[in-house]
């Protein structure tokens, strides 16, 4: 029987056994690098284990997670104290931190939710606080985050104000390097990297240096740094995949556009967003692909707009299907697939009505399909609009499947700022449905999207899992960056109406019962068996490096 568990990773981990928590963690490591909030959730869950359940395996994973958390949070005094208790010599850092804490009023203000503060006003107040207390690293850390969010050159205006021990300044210099990378100023990041204090025992810092080298054309150096990072922690699956991409770069093949391909879109009252999507599509290379747009009961002038775009940008090649009512996303997809063009195409690509695609998106997706044996569907790296670049959705698999509980993995790292680390091609279990392409064989095997998930949400995920259960590969192509302007899918944190929330929960129930008879098969659609059951030996118990 279905068990209702509140959304969120903490409640999800609380609902499963210790062994399943460790399997869940290994699956996550097979998807993404650990970041601070996710690391904390796993740490908190494992520290809840009672004495009779604790064993060498859980203790080693606790130490592994604690080291990661300390690397990511060098200014956390409590973490430093706990690390000392576990045998790490962080006494010097702890003493320095004790002398460099902010005044209580500043500490309370720093702890307030950033979402409730206007970004530029918050940044100005942070600079004032740093001028008053230039020895407090927590203020400088927040300022770097603020610079990235507001687009101000990281640290350029205030970094010279810092007055603190070298032990605490060093990680801030490395954080500034990463901030410049996230801002896309690769030349400045390279210059700052060469001047920053090195930390060869810190895999996060090595990864930052590697990506800067890759972005500035020094791929040999990038590969060397990524290999060194993997020597420190071989459980970094994304690093392994990024290294493979650097050593053997993915090259889209324009000849794939010669295949008979159809591009399908459907829309409901998003005239302006659909206009932008079609303009983006017109600016891309699609060869002789057909294009069809289904207007799902639109009443906002979308038909006139599409007619105009069709004449001006597509030479009349768009086929327009206009329905009197909104039949929902799954049925719209099925309608288009049931047309003669949908039934006879070698490949079918679906685009949402609120995306921007790069020029080579189609040939890239089709090349990934061709080059992956058994591939049935391929999807893009989906980004949020605006800067800094943030991942909205990368890929997912099955995090847990047992009687009563079916949960998918996170769709992107919690720290979703796009630094290029996930620019690779890999197999997975589900990709984002706003920009994906199918083979004919896959659509013949699973010809319909499930209309029980109408009006939207989960039908694309269910279709991907159906393909996996039939033996097809689902492929993520991180070399295609698709910007998605709106998000209504399952598992996102955006505020929504009560009705929308209930709809998501209802789909959660439907999703479980749809796959209830195949939970054992779904449980194998993850990475847990690809990640070692025990973490590697910790480097340098006598000294823990500071992070990038």
User: Would you say residue 269 has pLDDT above 80?
Assistant: yes
Q: Which two tokens stand for residue 338?
A: 């049931």
- Could you tell me if residue 207 is inside a domain? no
How high is the pLDDT of residue 55? 87
User: Is 484 a member of any domain?
Assistant: yes
Percent of the chain whose predicted confidence (pLDDT) is above 90: 85
Please report the pLDDT score of residue 178 as a whole number.
98
Report if residue 221 sits inside a domain.
Answer: no
Question: Average pLDDT for residues 164-177, to the nearest whole number?
Answer: 97
pLDDT (average), residues 295-311: 97
Within a 13 Å sphere around the CA of 263, how many CA atoms are in the beta-carbon half? Answer: 27
Specify whether the CB–CB gap between 421 and 238 falls below 8 A. Answer: yes
Number of structural domains, the chain?
1
CA 491 to CA 191: how far, in whole Å? 39
Domain enclosing residue 437, as ranges: 254-529
Q: How confident is the model at residue 189, as a pLDDT? A: 98
Residue 142 inside a domain? The answer is: no
CA atoms of 208 and 199, how far apart (whole Å): 12
Which of 47, 25, 45 lies closest to 34, judged by CA?
A: 25
User: Which pLDDT does position 90 carry in this prediction?
Assistant: 87
Distance of CA 532 to the CA centre of its chain: 23
- 8 Å CB contact between 402 and 523: yes
Q: How many CA atoms lie within 13 A of 85 on its CB side?
A: 9
Helix, strand, or coil here: 379? strand
pTM of the predicted structure, to 2 decimals: 0.93
338-377 residue pLDDT tens: 999 999 999 999 999 999 999 999 999 999 999 999 999 9
Is 349 inside a domain boundary? yes
Which is nearest to 535 in space by CA: 17, 25, 93, 129? Answer: 25
Q: Name residues whose C-beta falls within 8 Å of residue 533's C-beta, 6 or more positions apart in sequence.
A: 22, 26, 57
In tens, the pLDDT along 209-243 reads: 999 999 999 999 999 999 999 999 999 999 999 99
Distance, CA of 33 to CA of 443 (rounded, Å): 33
Both tokens of 27, joined, read 């699956």
pLDDT tens sequence across 473-484: 999 999 999 999
Q: Considering the chain, what percentage of its residues have pLDDT values greater than 70?
A: 94
Phi first, then psi: give them for residue 434, nearest 5 degrees. Answer: -80, -15
Distance of alpha carbon 254 from alpha carbon 360, whole angstroms: 8
**Model confidence at 187: pLDDT above 70:** yes
DSSP 197: P
Position 305 in a domain = yes
- Backbone region of residue 301 per phi and psi (left: phi > 0; alpha: psi in -120 to 50; beta: other values): left
Give the strand pairing for 347-351 and 261-267: parallel
Q: Is position 159 within any domain?
A: no
Q: How far apart are the first and last CA of the chain?
A: 46
> Residue 286 is part of a domain; what is its CATH number?
3.90.550.10
Per the domain annotation, does 53 fall within a domain? no
Looking at residue 111, its pLDDT comes to: 87
């Amino acid at each position: 029987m279905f068990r209702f568990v509140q959304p969120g990773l903490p409640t999800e981990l609380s609902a499963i056994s210790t062994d399943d928590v460790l399997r869940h963690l290994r699956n996550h490591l097979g998807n993404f690098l650990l970041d601070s909030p996710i690391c904390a959730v796993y740490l908190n869950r494992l520290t809840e284990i009672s004495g009779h359940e604790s064993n060498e395996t859980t203790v080693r994973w606790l130490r592994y997670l604690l080291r990661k958390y300390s690397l990511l949070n060098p200014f956390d005094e409590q973490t430093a104290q706990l690390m000392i208790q576990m045998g790490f010599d962080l006494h010097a850092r702890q003493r320095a931190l004790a002398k460099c804490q902010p005044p209580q009023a500043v500490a309370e203000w720093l702890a307030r939710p950033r979402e409730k503060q206007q970004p530029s006003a918050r940044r100005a107040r942070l600079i004032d606080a740093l001028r008053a207390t230039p020895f407090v690293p927590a203020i400088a850390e927040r300022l770097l985050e603020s610079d990235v969010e507001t687009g101000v050159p990281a640290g350029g205006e205030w970094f010279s104000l810092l007055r603190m021990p070298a032990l605490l300044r060093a990680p801030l210099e490395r954080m500034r390097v990463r901030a410049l990378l996230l801002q896309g100023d690769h030349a400045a990041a390279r210059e700052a990297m060469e001047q920053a204090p090195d930390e060869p025992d810190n895999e996060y810092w090595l990864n930052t240096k590697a990506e800067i080298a890759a972005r500035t054309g020094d791929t040999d150096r990038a590969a060397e740094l990524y290999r060194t990072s993997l020597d420190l922690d071989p459980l970094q699956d994304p690093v392994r995949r990024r290294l493979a991409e650097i050593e053997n770069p993915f090259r889209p093949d324009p000849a794939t556009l010669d295949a008979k391909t159809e591009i399908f879109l459907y829309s409901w009252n998003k005239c302006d967003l659909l206009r932008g999507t079609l303009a983006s599509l017109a600016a891309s290379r699609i060869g002789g692909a057909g294009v069809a747009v289904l207007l799902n009961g639109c009443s906002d002038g979308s038909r006139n707009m599409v007619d105009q775009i069709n004449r001006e940008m597509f030479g009349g090649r768009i086929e327009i299907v206009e329905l009197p009512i909104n039949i929902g996303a799954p049925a719209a997809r099925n309608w288009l697939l049931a047309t003669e063009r949908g039934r006879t195409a070698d490949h079918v690509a679906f685009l949402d009505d609120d995306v921007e695609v790069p020029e080579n998106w189609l040939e890239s997706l089709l090349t990934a399909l061709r080059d992956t044996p058994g591939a049935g569907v391929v999807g893009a790296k989906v980004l949020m609009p605006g800067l800094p670049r943030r991942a909205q959705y990368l890929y997912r698999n099955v995090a847990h499947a047992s009687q009563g509980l079916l949960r998918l993995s996170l769709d992107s790292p919690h720290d979703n700022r796009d630094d290029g680390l996930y620019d690779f091609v890999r197999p997975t279990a589900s990709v984002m449905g706003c920009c994906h392409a199918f083979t004919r064989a896959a659509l013949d095997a699973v010809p319909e999207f499930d209309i029980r998930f109408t009006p939207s949400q989960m039908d694309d995920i269910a279709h991907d899992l159906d393909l996996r259960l039939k033996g097809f590969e689902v492929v993520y192509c991180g070399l295609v960056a698709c910007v998605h302007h709106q998000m209504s899918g399952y598992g996102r944190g955006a505020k929504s109406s009560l009705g929308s929330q209930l709809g998501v929960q209802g789909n959660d129930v439907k999703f479980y019962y749809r796959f209830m008879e195949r939970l054992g098969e779904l449980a194998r659609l993850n990475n847990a068996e690809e990640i070692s059951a025990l973490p590697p030996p910790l480097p340098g118990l006598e000294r823990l490096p500071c992070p990038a």
